[in-house]
Structure 1
Amino acid sequence: MLKERKPDLVVGVAGCVAQVQGEAILKRAPHVDLVIGTHNLLKLPRLLQKVAARRRVTATDLTTDLRDRFDANLVPLSSIPAKAYVTIMEGCDLFCTFCIVPYTRGREISRSADEIIGEVKALVERGVKEVTLLGQTVNAYGRRPGQIGFHELLARIDEVPGIERIRFTSSHPVYVTRGLVEAYGQLKHLCPHLHLPVQSGSDGVLARMRRRHTRRTYLDIVRRVRDARPDVAVTTDLIVGFPGEGEEDFEETRNLMREVGFSDVYASAYSERPETKASLLPDRVPEMVRRERLTRLLEIQKETSLAQNRARVGGVEDVLVEGRSKTDSDKLTGRTPHNKVVNFRGDASRVGQIIPVRILEVSPHALGGEALG
């Protein structure tokens, strides 16, 4: 074992699993020194001091104290130059039946708008061009008295001198307000991309998931956002094989995909999460059926993505260069405002810049082209 060779090595488990299982991890894994839950990251230096004193430590307390949750001095820079992530809220009040987040992250809590704006300004001064706002239900930001709404926060960030792109993830349909819809037509730096998880196209399945929206309300949101910004790219999350999902339910999801025309889909076969309401639901879908449905779902998206990408051939896209391509080290890779991946030949000195690229070839998952200028 690695720890036998390196006795001073500290082994820790962090995140949602740590939050749920806590002390049980220490009991079944004697090599683990530290279990740290979702609200205790800022305590890490003190916890490591206890571990150094030969103590095994568990820290899984949930807190509503903002000082224990957020530290503007700990800026989560991306590994990609010119991009950064800014957490604006944490937690969730919705309790979807398949999701463990409300139990591991706690209830919704939002940071001060002034603190967020200050962090964005500091990032821009360090050369960041694109920020992605983070939250479990990010567009639930500011629902408490005395706070500004999410669309108002977007408007303030849009005014920060030097910011070029604003993204956010992950949103929930129930919190898509009129102000957020209008922001897509009004804010210069808000990227024309909306990631809006739908999870299923069947109202029956959505009810069992306790999603609080219907197929019709989801389609209405997409229609209104596209009215505000016709070229917006919509991506989503989907779960297939949820307990009780019949073939007709699954076909409704496939039909929803065709109707919306998603730019991309992050789909998975349902897998049980302990401590969730869904883990107690009857009418389980056999694993083989779940896998087969996932394959059929992804085939639809492959066709849709390829058709959308082909329509971009010959056009010019503004690409924020992220680094070397993972599939071809001779090429650079980056993303368009619509969050499309683009690969092209170029010098590494272009990393972190936004440059025009003419699209010459496509696949279902990426665009290929040549840099201009």
Structure 2
Amino acid sequence: PYHSPNIGSIIKKFIQNQSISEYTSQDVKDFASRIHPSLVTHKDELPWHKCVTISHGCENYCAYCIVPYVRGKLISFSSQQIIDYCKLLIDNGITEITLLGQNVNQYGQDSGDIPFYTLLESIAMLPGLYKLNFLTSHPKDFNIEILHVIKDNPVIARSIHLPLQSGSDTLLQAMNRQYTMNHYYSIIEAIHKLLPMASISTDLIVGFPGETQKDFEDTINAVRTIQFDEAFTYKYSPREGTKAFTLPDSVPDTVKQERLDMLIQTVREISQKRLMHHIHTTTDMIVERISKKSKNEVMGKTICNHPVIIKGGKEDIGKKYTVTIVSLKGSTLYGERSA
């Protein structure tokens, strides 16, 4: 859809004729915009929420990732177009926006446009916005100015997704992640200093080619040191077309599974302890849906993007409330509306 606004008709012709050629340009002027005003009326699953794509493509070439080969080079969309589009969304009832990019921290580096933290601040200051999220950050390009912007703008979620992938410098180099654990720790330290209650989530891979027991232990130790609120964990699987595909898949699947199980258990234990810290704190939330367990309760996300349950009904969906967290049941926070 970035290459042609007529992607639907192209697919239809292929189905009918089973043969069609289409030139896909990498020139910015040939890209179909994802921030066109006509898209304002296209509702997301949550009707008050809208995802806004700020850039396309990636040039990082992580060894396990196919994205740079299928999406092409980084292309940042015009900051003024993005800001104007966000204004239009808010004017049409959108109260929560999520900025999307394969690596939002690289925004503007290709075009000479404003840096991401300036774009983030400009959108956060738009009247009528309840909450502003962004995904995803790459550690090698993470600018500490982002944290200052978050601190100074209460509508920006105190929730940072920062993929680590491995706690081993050896594997980070093999993955072509282009940062070291010392660099990653320096970002975490800055987050804790400027945003002490922020939630930090990550992505982790076990069983990457060449991963030794020591490498895996380094990952476990990093998880315990950093204390992630959440982690998306994966067993490595080879992807044809990537650099890692040519490497021997040296870790047996049984070992991958054992390591994955241990990693998941470690993350769960830490996540539980992190959630406990939020009890007796006050936070804002946006109600998203009726609770699955009770029609007299509703579920929403806090400013740290933690799910929380409060008493309520259908009429509360989409509304913003200030709540006090009173308890934790399993991995779910429960709260009460503040007076």
**TM-score, normalization by structure 2:** 0.92
Give yes or no for contact 1:302–1:364 (8 Å, CA) kept in 2. Answer: no
Letter in 1 for 2:283: E
- Shift of the alpha carbon at 1:361? 3.0
- Would the aligned equivalents of 1:241 and 1:270 in 2 still touch at CA under 8 Å? yes
Offset of 1:191 from its aligned partner? 1.4
Aligned AA for 2:24?
D
Deviations along 1:103-140, one digit per CA (max 9) or x if unpaired, are: 01101000000110011111111221111100111111
Number of corresponding residues? 336
Shift of 1:309: 1.4
Aligned to 2:311: 345
Instruction: Trace 1:222-301 onto structure 2 (pairs within 5 A).
Output: 222-282=188-248, 284-301=250-267
Matched residue, 1:120: 86
Q: 1:372 to 1:182 in 2, by over 3 A?
A: closer
Counterpart Cα distance in 1 of 2:10 and 2:264: 44
Q: 1:84 Cα shift? A: 1.0
Letter in 2 for 1:44: I
Maintained 8 Å contact 1:314/1:360: yes
1:44 matched to which residue of 2? Answer: 7
Cα separation, partners in 2 of 1:60 and 1:346, compared to 1, 3 Å: farther
In structure 1, C-alpha distance between the alignment counterparts of 2:154 and 2:327, rounded to whole Å:
29
Amino acid at match of 1:78: D
Q: Distance in 2 between matches of 1:340 and 1:60?
A: 44
Q: What is the CA–CA distance in structure 2 between the aligned matches of 1:102 and 1:116, rounded to whole Å?
A: 23
> Contact between 1:264 and 1:305, CA under 8 Å: does it hold in 2?
yes
* Match status 1:303 vs 2:303: no
> Does 1:208 find its partner at 2:171?
no
Moved more, 310-319 or 204-213: 310-319
> Counterpart of 2:84 in structure 1: which amino acid?
G
Matched residues in 2 for 1:103 and 1:232: separation? 34
1:112–1:305: structure 2 CA closer, same or farther, 3 Å change rule? same
| Residue 124 of structure 2 corresponds to residue 161 of structure 1 | no
> 2:39 aligned with 1:74, yes or no?
yes
The C-alpha deviation readout for 1:56-82, integer Å capped at 9, x for no partner, is: 546572523345231413346421132
- The CA distance in 2 between the partners of 1:342 and 1:66, in whole Å, is 44
Contact 2:205 2:236 (C-alpha < 8 Å) held by counterparts:
yes
CA contact (8 A) 2:57 2:73 kept: yes
* Offset at residue 228 of structure 1 (A): 1.9
The letter for the 2-side match of 1:86 is: V
SS of the aligned residue for 1:69 comes to: coil
Change over 3 Å in CA distance of 1:211–1:49 after alignment to 2: closer
CA RMSD of aligned residues (A): 2.1
In 2: Cα distance, 1:150 partner to 1:127 partner: 25
Report the CA distance shift for 1:279/1:107 in structure 2 as closer, same or farther (over 3 A).
same
Where in structure 1 are there 5+ consecutive unaligned residues? 1-37
1:369 is paired with a residue of what secondary structure?
A: strand
After TM superposition, the score normalised by the length of structure 1 is: 0.84
Q: Contact 2:76 / 2:111 at 8 angstroms: preserved in 1?
A: no
Q: Would the aligned equivalents of 1:81 and 1:351 in 2 still touch at CA under 8 Å? A: no
Which segment is superposed worse, 134-143 or 275-284?
275-284
Q: Distance in 2 between matches of 1:272 and 1:327?
A: 39
- Distance in 1 between the 2:75 and 2:302 partners? 31
> SS of 1:74's equivalent?
helix
Q: Tell me, yes or no, if the aligned pair for 1:90 and 1:108 is still in contact at 8 Å.
A: yes
SS, match of residue 239 in structure 1: strand
Note the C-alpha offset of 1:347: 1.2
Q: Does the 8 A contact of 2:49 with 2:96 survive in 1?
A: yes
Cα distance in 1 for residues equivalent to 2:74 and 2:293: 39
